[in-house]
Amino acid sequence: MLRIFLLLLIPLASVASEESEAHETVWVESPKQFNCAPSEITLEDSVSISLGENSFEELAIFRESDGTWLFLVVGSAPKAMNSLMSPAELKSRNVFNLTPETTGFRWEANGYNEKIFTAPGKYTIYNSDILESEVGGYKCSIVVVGN
């Protein structure tokens, strides 16, 4: 009986071990390397993004109010995407602004460009060398308040 129990226990232990080895993407908040200012804006305001010497080549923003990812700078941008700038330019910049007119690209089957700041709520901006990976990078957040 003990032998059967142990035989059943071994596969469960290996499944638990495999699950614990899965790596979670690490996004670091480091104002020295990646900073959003001010941290609170209205729909008519701009936000300034400051990049440190260790910034990365891709940029996206997550709009929490509707769960939308909008990509602003990527290495292999679709033809329809209006990129904010090239990856090399992003990496070499110290600061840039996201304005009420800035658009991002919905990364989906029939993706399209749309304004990023469309509703009050939390927005998280991500900077990585490869956004769609487990590489991770920097993040900062802002809150858009109603008028």
- Domains of the chain, first to last: 25-145 (2.60.40)
Q: Report whether 122 contacts 16 (CB < 8 A).
A: no
- What distance in Å separates the CA atoms of residue 110 and residue 14, rounded to the nearest whole number? 40
Give the C-alpha distances (Å, rounded to integers) separating 103 from 1, 64, 82, 111, 131: 65, 16, 7, 12, 17
Query: pLDDT tens digits, residue range 86-103?
Result: 999 998 889 999 999 999
Give counts: helices (H), strands (E), the chain: 2, 11
Predicted TM-score (pTM) of this structure: 0.80
Beta strands of 16-94 (E only): which ranges? 27-28, 34-37, 40-42, 47-51, 58-63, 68-73
In the predicted model, what is the mean pLDDT of the chain? Answer: 84
Give the C-alpha distances (Å, rounded to integers) separating 45 from 48, 99, 102, 144, 146: 10, 7, 11, 9, 11
Query: pLDDT tens digits, residue range 26-36?
Result: 888 888 889 99
Query: pLDDT tens digits, residue range 102-131?
Result: 999 998 888 999 999 999 999 999 998 878
Residue partners of 37: CB distance under 8 A and separation at least 6: 47, 48, 50
